[in-house]
Amino acid sequence: MEKLNSSTHWTAESTENFVHRIASDFIAQLEIKIEKGEVSRSELAHRLDRTPGRVSQLLNPGNITIGSAVRLVRAVGMKVALVAYDDNDPENHNGPVNSGIFYRCWKHMGAPITFFELNHSVAPVGQFGYSDAAANIEMDFRDVRIDRNAITWAVIN
C-alpha cells in the first residue's frame, strides 16, 4: 500500500504526469487572461480562425503541442518560452517550478530580453521598503497559494 504522505511529487510517477502538470500550468496562464476579460473565448476563436469548440479542445492540457502553445499565446498577445533548468531535484520530490515563479523573477529583474539588459539590470529595492542588499532577493508572495501537489498561479497585476 502506498504511503499517503509520500515525499515524491505526483509528477515523478510518469512523463505523462509531468507533461500534464506543465501543460496545465500553461493553460492556467491563458485562463487568467480570459477571466480578467482581456480576451474572450469567442474572440480567441476568431483570432485563431477556429470554432469556439476547437478552442476549448486546445485549452485542454492533453492537447497542447509547442506549435499550438505558440498560436494560443500569439492570439492573446503574449509570448512563450520553453525553459530547461536544474533545481537539484533529480528525483522530482518537489515537482516542476511553477511558471509564475519564473515570470515574477523575470519581472523583478526588470523584464530583460537580452543578456546585455540582464547584465545591466538591478532588481528594484524601493518597493520592499528595505535599503540593504538583501532586499534585492526579497519578493512579495502574499497572493501565492503554496501547495506543492497542486497547480497554483498568482494573479499578476
What DSSP character marks residue 39?
S
The whole-angstrom separation of Cα 112 and Cα 10 is 33
Q: What is the pTM of this model?
A: 0.72
Contacts of 107 (CB under 8 A, 6+ apart): 156
Instruction: Identify the CA nearest to 33 among candidates 108, 103, 105.
Output: 103
pLDDT of residue 26: 96
Q: What is the pLDDT of residues 77-136, one digit of tens each?
A: 999 999 999 999 999 999 999 999 999 999 999 999 999 998 887 665 555 454 444 444
The grid cell for 9 is: 511529487
How confident is the model over 17-41, as pLDDT tens digits? 999 999 999 999 999 999 999 999 9
Whole-number Å distance between alpha carbons of 69 and 113? 20
- pLDDT, tens only, 41-66: 999 999 999 999 999 999 999 999 99
Residue 99's alpha-carbon distances to 1, 37, 50, 104, 132, in angstroms, are 33, 21, 27, 9, 28
- In the chain the domains, ranked by start, together with CATH numbers, are 11-86 (1.10.260), 98-157 (no CATH)
